[in-house]
Structure 1
Amino acid sequence: MRYAQGGGLTDAGRAARERIRLQAVERFEDGQKNREIAAALRVSERSVERWRRQWRERGEAGVRSKGSPGRPRLSEAQIARLARELERGPLVHGWADQRWTLARIKTLIGRLFHVSYTVEGTWRLLRRHGWSWQQPARRAIERDDQAVEVWKKETWPLVKAPRRSATPGWSSRTKPGSR
């Protein structure tokens, strides 16, 4: 079942749905028809049919709520361990450079805790625990800002192409002087 706002039911909403299903079970036991149950509980007949099938197969436990369908969460101890492992760096964990990407962190979480997250879920997990996106400043250590400024002022004007004139030119279709 999909929900318009992109989320599922809250715990209270899930409990209310479960109460409706349990009322349907009482009506199953009384021998009422699906149409009557659907009208009385203000749900679709298809839902009542599905609940009845689950009730026949597994009894009352078949229609009870299974709880929140949320993704597996890491405990605080696991988050602390993940932080320590991230601080050790990607090289220690087998990557060739010093960049942590979300895909790499997702893989690391899977290796360490045997829990699967999506890349987006990994980002949410990190953000929820105070991590932020950072991009390193890509500057060479050897860079000399003063020398760059001198080059811009002295060398660049000599190297750059001259601007085109504002006068109309001629194209390959017209011959010069034929105007």
Structure 2
Amino acid sequence: MRYPQGGGLTDAERTARERVRLQAVTGFEGGDKNREIAAALRVSERSVERWRRQWREEGLDGVASKGSPGRPRLSDIQIEKLERELERGPLTHGWSDQRWTLARVKTMIGRLFHVSYTVEGTWRLLRRHGWSWQQPARRAIERDDDAVELWKREVWPRVRAPRRSTTPGWSSRTKPASR
């Protein structure tokens, strides 16, 4: 099943984050304290501390955006092809049942594009492009739902133990002590 949540930051969002870091640099140069800068920019003090350290060590280059940390190894065209192949199903790719596992998707990516992913990287790739994991319900092939319902309705009430009565009776707490 697919969900349109995507993943990661867009270029515009990355640019906005960099703008915040550059505003923090202005505060550093003005001698402002980390707490004041964090409150003004509505970020955590730890982020401001990290930016100040990077600014001291590397200057403006230290706080500049480095781009996306995980550059995609598959192009948009390859992602589209991967999605088409996933929709075709595992049977068409030589597996014996209709379940896509991460290991199978990883193997298929390697066969199609000659790119190696880890199982975790495969999961991140799929999730980034809106795929979610599904777990099939385990049911016996021989299961007869009508027979199960009949048994629940007619046999089970006769088999189960009767409920305890609600009338007061003897119990270990109310039984008189023997003398």
Question: Given the two structures, how large is their TM-score scaled by the length of structure 2?
Answer: 0.47
CA radius of gyration, larger in? 1
Larger RCO (alpha carbons 8 Å, 6+ apart):
2
